[in-house]
C-alpha cells in the first residue's frame, strides 16, 4: 500500500478498525455461547482455544507483519500493546457506579495471581530481547519457547487454583460478580440462545475470517500511514494498532461491568495480556527468525511500562484501596500518570 494516497490509507485503516470491532464482538459472544454449550473452559485445551479466539486481531496483524518481515510491528503490537491493553481497565473503572473503585469491588487473590502470571510472562519476553539472534534455536528465540511452556503450565495451575474457594475470597462489601464457571452455567449469550449450534459455529467462522482479513489490512495500511508521517512502525503498532485491537475487549468488558461481572472484566484483560506473548512463537515461525532478538530499546521500555501498569493493579488487589477521585480509583489515576509519563519518556529516548 506504499505510495497510495494518504486519505485512502486512512479510510482503509478506519474501515478495517470497524470490522475488527464488530467482528471481534461477534467472536466474543459466539465464543461465550459455544463455551456454554460445549463447556470448553472446563479443560485446558478449551482455555487455550478461548485464548486464541480472544486474540485473533493481534494474531492476524502479527502474522501479516511476520510474512512481510516487518519485525517492529510484531514487537510493538505484542510487547508494547500490553501497556495499552492494561490501561483499558481505567475505562472499566470509570464506568463503575458507586463510591468504590473497580479493583476494590473485583479484587481477590485470584486476580493477584493472574496479574503476577502476566507480569512474569512479560518479563520473560523482555529477557528474550537480550538474546542475540545468533543464539536462536531453529530460528526460534529460546524465550519464545519458554513463554509458551510457562503459559500452558501457568494456565493449568490457575485453572486448578480457581477450584479453591479461598482464592475467591474478597472483602465483605466487594461485588466481584459471577465467576467464569458460574457465568458459563447460567448464560448462553442471549443473542444466540435460540440459535442452533450450527448457526453459532458459522457466525464464529465468519467473524474469525473477517477479523483475520481486517488484521492484514490494518497492518499494511498502518505501516504505510506510519511511514507517511514519519512515525516508527513499532510505536504506531504499540499505540494506534493496540487501540484498534483492544476495541472488542473494551466493548465486552463494559458489558461485563454493566451486568455486574466486575472480576471477569479485569480477568479477561490480564488473560489477554498473557496470551499475546505466546504469539511470539508463531511470529518466529512465520518470520523464520527470532523476533524478540530484534527488539529495540523503545519496545523493551514499553514492555517494562506494561509490567509497571500491571503491578499497580496487583498492589491495589492487595491493599484494596477504597477511595475514588473523579470516578476513578487512585490506582487508575496512577495508571494514567505512569502511562503518560512513559509515553513522554518514550519520545525522549
Average pLDDT of span 253-277: 89
Q: pLDDT at position 124, please?
A: 97
Transcribe 8-72 into DSSP letters: HHHHHHHHHHHHHHHHHHHHHHHHHHHHHHHTGGGSHHHHHHHHHHHTHHHHHHHHHHHHHT-HH
Helices 44-54 and 142-161 sit at what angle, rounded to 10 degrees? 120
What SS3 class is residue 316? Answer: helix
- Within a 10 A sphere around the Cβ of 195, how many other Cβ atoms? 16
pLDDT digits (tens, 9 = 90+) for 120-151: 999 999 999 999 998 888 899 999 999 999 99
Establish how many alpha carbons lie within 13 A of residue 248's alpha carbon, considering only the half-sphere containing its beta carbon: 28
* Band of pLDDT at residue 2, cut at 50, 70 and 90: low
Judged against a pLDDT cut of 80, whether residue 19 lies above it is answered with: yes
Q: pLDDT at position 43, please?
A: 57
Q: pLDDT at position 328, please?
A: 94
Close Cβ partners of 30 (under 8 Å, ≥ 6 residues apart): 189, 192, 200, 201, 203, 204, 207
Tell me which of 93-107, 127-141, 154-168 is least confident: 154-168
Residues of the chain with pLDDT > 70, as a percent, come to 89
Q: pLDDT at position 125, please?
A: 96
Tell me which of 53-57, 175-179, 296-300, 322-326 is least confident: 175-179
Judged against a pLDDT cut of 90, whether residue 178 lies above it is answered with: no
How many whole angstroms separate alpha carbon 221 and alpha carbon 125?
Answer: 27
Q: pLDDT at position 298, please?
A: 87
Judged against a pLDDT cut of 90, whether residue 88 lies above it is answered with: yes
Please, what is the average pLDDT of the chain?
86
Q: pLDDT at position 260, please?
A: 86
Task: Confirm if 46 and 201 have CB atoms less than 8 A apart.
Answer: no
Q: pLDDT at position 180, please?
A: 66
Judged against a pLDDT cut of 70, whether residue 161 lies above it is answered with: yes
* Band of pLDDT at residue 346, cut at 50, 70 and 90: confident
Q: pLDDT at position 325, please?
A: 85
Judged against a pLDDT cut of 60, whether residue 78 lies above it is answered with: yes
Q: Which domains does the chain have, with CATH numbers?
A: 6-348 (1.20.1420.30)
Average pLDDT of span 94-111: 87
Task: Confirm if 2 and 168 have CB atoms less than 8 A apart.
Answer: no
Average pLDDT of span 169-184: 69
Average pLDDT of span 326-339: 94
How many residues does this entry show for the chain? 349
Strands (E) across the chain are located at 324-325, 328-329
The model's pTM: 0.89
* Band of pLDDT at residue 116, cut at 50, 70 and 90: very high
* Band of pLDDT at residue 206, cut at 50, 70 and 90: very high
Amino acid at each position: 500500500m506504499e505510495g497510495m494516497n494518504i486519505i485512502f490509507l486512512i479510510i482503509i485503516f478506519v474501515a478495517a478498525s470497524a470490522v475488527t470491532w464488530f467482528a471481534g464482538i461477534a467472536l466474543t459472544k459466539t465464543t461465550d455461547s459455544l463455551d456454554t454449550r460445549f463447556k470448553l473452559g472446563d479443560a485446558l485445551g478449551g482455555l487455550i482455544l478461548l485464548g486464541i479466539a480472544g486474540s485473533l486481531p493481534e494474531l492476524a496483524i502479527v502474522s501479516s507483519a511476520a510474512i512481510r518481515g516487518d519485525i517492529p510491528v510484531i514487537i510493538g503490537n505484542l510487547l508494547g500493546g500490553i501497556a495499552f491493553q492494561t490501561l483499558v481497565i481505567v475505562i472499566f473503572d470509570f464506568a463503575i457506579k458507586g463510591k468504590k473503585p473497580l479493583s476494590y469491588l473485583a479484587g481477590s487473590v485470584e486476580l493477584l495471581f493472574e496479574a503476577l502470571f502476566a507480569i512474569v510472562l512479560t518479563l520473560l519476553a523482555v529477557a528474550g530481547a537480550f538474546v542475540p539472534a545468533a543464539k536462536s534455536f531453529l530460528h526460534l528465540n529460546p524465550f519464545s519457547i519458554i513463554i509458551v511452556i510457562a503459559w500452558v503450565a501457568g494456565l493449568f495451575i490457575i485453572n486448578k487454583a480457581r477450584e479453591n474457594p479461598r482464592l475467591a475470597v474478597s472483602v465483605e462489601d466487594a461485588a466481584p460478580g459471577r465467576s467464569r464457571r458460574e457465568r458459563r452455567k447460567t448464560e448462553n449469550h442471549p443473542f444466540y440462545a435460540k440459535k442452533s449450534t450450527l448457526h453459532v459455529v458459522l457466525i464464529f467462522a465468519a467473524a474469525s475470517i473477517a477479523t483475520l482479513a481486517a488484521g492484514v489490512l490494518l497492518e499494511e495500511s498502518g505501516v504505510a500511514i506510519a511511514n507517511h508521517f514519519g512515525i516508527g512502525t513499532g510505536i504506531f503498532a504499540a499505540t494506534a494498532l493496540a487501540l484498534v485491537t483492544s476495541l472488542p475487549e473494551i466493548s465486552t468488558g463494559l458489558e461485563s461491568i454493566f451486568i455486574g461481572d466486575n472480576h471477569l472484566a479485569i480477568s479477561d484483560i490480564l488473560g489477554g495480556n498473557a496470551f499475546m506473548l505466546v504469539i511470539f512463537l508463531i511470529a518466529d515461525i512465520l518470520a523464520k527468525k527470532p523476533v524478540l532478538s530484534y527488539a529495540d530499546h523503545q519496545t523493551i521500555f514499553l514492555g517494562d511500562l506494561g509490567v509497571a501498569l500491571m503491578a499497580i493493579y496487583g498492589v491495589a488487589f492487595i491493599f484494596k484501596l477504597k477511595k475514588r477521585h473523579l470516578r476513578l480509583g487512585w490506582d487508575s489515576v496512577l495508571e494514567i500518570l505512569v502511562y503518560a509519563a512513559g509515553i513522554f519518556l518514550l519520545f525522549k529516548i
